[in-house]
Amino acid sequence: MPVYVLWIPCLESSLKVCRDRIESTNISDEGDFLVDAHLNVDTYEIRLTYQTEEQQQEMILSLFQKPSACFLHYQITKQTETASQLAKTMESEFHQGLYHLIKGFFHNHAFHPADEDSIIHARYFESMEQYMGERVSDADYYVQEYINKFDRVNKNINDALNEISKRTATSWKQVYYYLKTYGAYKRLAHLIGRYEGEFLYYKSLRSSVEGQLSDSKSVDAKMEALDNEIHIKQHLIEHEFSYNSAVIGTNISTVGMIVGAIGIILSVISLIISSSDSKAEKLGEIEERLGGIEQRISLSESKSRGIINRIEENTDSIAGLSGEVEAMGKSLKEIQNGNAKIQKRLGVK
């Protein structure tokens, strides 16, 4: 008969029952497999009932060892059938969906949505003999499960960053690619957010098994290095997003100024073609106005190049550049106001 050792994520040193009944919960990722579960709050025995095509079925999980450090040691002591998805899975591992359900007796999902529970694999033994002969402690097993999980998180972050790094927004074509990677930034933020929540539970596990690890110094050093690496990448992600946003804002402002200037020039050309009164005087004023516009466009382009150069030279200055981008927008508005004044003075309606 298989043996299962479940670690229940908790933020305190001992388990506290939150509820003793969970009804009509789907534990399958491949369709509906609804289970009703009842916990005996005195013995921690769990009674599961579910419906098959033939009739209602029952499975009972009983503790064979007193709980310690939030570890529960179970065996199946009653099972009315062996053909269902649940029964077949339990022959070779502890069903992942059922593990999630059982956590719900003790755990309120305080740091994440219910469908984003800390997904680690429950410990499984083929028999009591294998369990009794195992030398790796439950503490070592579950700590290693978290290390493996966070290693995978780190690899996923690396893969996403490598993809995004190929699409840095330093040209108009790359701005397009950057916008296509916006979803990748959101996924990275979500991934790191989940990591932060799960790391709280890892710290709870680590504190509850103090003195039970075979090599606590090695484990702590590895987790500290992994945590530091993930947080460094978190800052890099925030910087990359801010950098690309600033460059895009600068380029859009430049386009706006150029479009505005083209509009002014077209208006002036229209005046030259349509006006027949005092052409010499008006042309002189037009030339003077166009000269001023050209200087202001040149100055704005120079500012744009300066902003981009300073972003690339000093990434710490990105936040302060938003004000200059806003000032450039005001400059565009002044150019457009100048256009209106020219048209008014020349008598254009």
Is residue 59 predicted with pLDDT exceeding 90?
yes
Residues 97 and 124 in one domain: yes
C-alpha span between 327 and 308 (Å, rounded): 15
| Domain-located, residue 288 | no
Q: How confident is the model at residue 270 (pLDDT cuts 50, 70, 90)?
A: low
Mean per-residue pLDDT for 337-341?
53
Q: How confident is the model at residue 303 (pLDDT cuts 50, 70, 90)?
A: low
| Domain-located, residue 167 | yes
Tokens of 50: 């579910």
| Residue where a domain terminates, one of 84, 108, 133 | 133
Is residue 233 predicted with pLDDT exceeding 60?
yes
| Domain-located, residue 175 | yes
pLDDT in tens, 108-154: 655 445 545 557 899 999 999 999 999 999 999 999 999 999 999 88
Residues 16 and 119 in one domain: yes
Is residue 31 predicted with pLDDT exceeding 50?
yes
| Domain-located, residue 304 | yes
Residues 126 and 150 in one domain: no
| Domain-located, residue 287 | no
Mean per-residue pLDDT for 332-338?
49
Residues 101 and 152 in one domain: no
Residues 185 and 253 in one domain: no
| Domain-located, residue 31 | yes
Give residue 279's Cα distance to chain centre. Answer: 64
Mean per-residue pLDDT for 251-272?
59
Of the two residues 299 and 8, the one the predictor is more confident about is 8
| Residue where a domain terminates, one of 107, 133, 159 | 133
Q: Give the 3-state secondary structure of the chain.
A: CCEEEEECCCCCCCCCCCCCEEEEEECCCCCCCEEEEEECCCCCCEEEEEECCCCEEEEEEEEEEEEECCEEEEEEEEECCCCCHHHHHHCCCCCHHHHHHHHCCCCCCCCCCHHHCCCCCCEEECCHHHHHHCCCCHHHHHHHHHHHHHHHHHHHHHHHHHHHHCCCCCCHHHHHHHHHCHHHHHHHHHHHHHHHHHHHHHHHHHHHCCCCCCCHHHHHHHHHHHHHHHHHHHHHHHHHHHHHHHHHHHHHHHHHHHHHHHHHHHHHHHHHHHCCCCHHHHHHHHHHHHHHHHHHHHHHHHHHHHHHHHHHHCHHHHHHHHHHHHHHHHHHHHHHHHHHHHHHHCCCC
User: Which pLDDT belongs to residue 37?
Assistant: 96
- Domain span at residue 198? 138-243
User: Which pLDDT belongs to residue 117?
Assistant: 56
Of the two residues 77 and 324, the one the predictor is more confident about is 77
Of the two residues 229 and 334, the one the predictor is more confident about is 229
Residues constituting the chain: 349
Q: How confident is the model at residue 239 (pLDDT cuts 50, 70, 90)?
A: low
User: Which pLDDT belongs to residue 260?
Assistant: 60
Is residue 36 predicted with pLDDT exceeding 60?
yes
Q: How confident is the model at residue 334 (pLDDT cuts 50, 70, 90)?
A: low
Mean per-residue pLDDT for 256-271?
60
Q: How confident is the model at residue 342 (pLDDT cuts 50, 70, 90)?
A: very low
Residues 219 and 318 in one domain: no
| Domain-located, residue 281 | no
Residue owning tokens 């998805």: 85
Is residue 215 predicted with pLDDT exceeding 70?
yes
Give the global pTM.
0.65
Residue owning tokens 């702590």: 220
| Residue where a domain terminates, one of 84, 113, 133 | 133
Of the two residues 310 and 131, the one the predictor is more confident about is 131
Residues 119 and 148 in one domain: no
User: Which pLDDT belongs to residue 136?
Assistant: 93
Residues 157 and 262 in one domain: no
| Domain-located, residue 84 | yes
User: Which pLDDT belongs to residue 13?
Assistant: 67
Q: CB pairs under 8 A, 24+ apart, for 287-290?
A: 289/338, 289/342, 290/265
Residues 238 and 251 in one domain: no
Residues 100 and 123 in one domain: yes
Share of residues in the chain with pLDDT > 70 (%): 58
- Count of domains forming the chain: 3
pLDDT in tens, 161-195: 777 666 554 555 555 555 666 667 777 877 888 88
Residues 166 and 109 in one domain: no
